[in-house]
Amino acid sequence: MLASQVIQAYQDFCPPHLSIEGDVSGLQIGTLNKEVKRIMVALDIRETTVAEAIDKKVDLIIVKHAPIFKPLKNLVADDLQTQIYLNLVKNDIAVYVSHTDIDVVDGGLNDWFCELLEIRDTEVLHETIPGHGLGRVGTVVEQTLEELALKVKSTFNLDAVRLVTYHHQAQQYINRVAICCGSGDSFYKDALAKGADVLITGDIYYHTGQEMLTQGLLGIDPGHHIEVLFIEKITEKLLEWKDEKDWELEILASTVSTNPFRHL
């Protein structure tokens, strides 16, 4: 079957127009006008991801983070970053990027996070188009910041989480939670406006953390890599569509870790 048929099914679920303005989404490498037998879902395109795709004879990768995230000045094979792109092209591996569209869509990544953390009665954190937007705000059973942080750590199998809190606030009780996948600290004022006690998001900047505390908002930073949930959930979707539509192809989940961080 054609790659375009698979992507059409994906776009029926996650329309590209949901991507925020200026985002890098959609087909980025290769063509969808080709036959595909194996599709792989990944969070990132790194040299390890490409080696895995080549080894498994993958024809199309559906990925959350765009491999080309800033303008290219050349395609020189001696450059290790450029070699990633050249290896994809040489091996005729197409890459389709689903970035903020999967964050915004109802039943997408932010809603999956809420399900796992039992955040109920949710609304959009930061509206990007009428009725849709980035992040969610909802309620949890009343618990301390520390209890929620440990739940985040356990749920996503992390070796650590960072807390945005003064020491005495770790036992502060909370029941209204804002969450935004990726790097969402720029939306902390939205979280405050919607009555959140705590914001869960990755890559919280030092000075932003200070501003959050001054204005009465706590934070839990589990890192950007928890978006790896994308792999599991999109693989499940593709397998469902494969059964429903009788697709003759293989769906694979990337198994290499692209998380650049470890904690001692």
Q: Report long-range pairs for 209-216 (Cβ below 8 Å, ≥24 apart).
A: 209/164, 209/185, 212/164, 212/185, 212/188, 213/164, 213/165, 213/166, 215/188, 216/192
Residue 40's beta-bridge partner residues?
Answer: 61, 252
55 belongs to an annotated ligand binding site = no
Any binding-site annotation on 47? Answer: no
- Paired strand residues for 180: 201
Q: Report the first-to-last Cα separation within the chain, whole angstroms.
A: 47
- 248 labelled binding-site residue: no
Concatenated DSSP letters of 136-205:
EEEEEEEEEHHHHHHHHHHHTT-S--EEES-GGGGG-EEEEEEEEEEE-GGGHHHHHHTT-SEEEEE---
Q: Which long-range contacts (CB under 8 A, 24 or more apart) does 199-204 make?
A: 199/164, 200/113, 200/117, 200/152, 201/135, 202/226, 202/227, 204/162, 204/164
Residue 224 is labelled as binding a ligand: yes
Angle between helices 47-55 and 80-90 (to 10 degrees): 20
Residues making up the binding site for a divalent metal cation: 65, 103, 224, 227
Residues making up the binding site: 65, 103, 224, 227
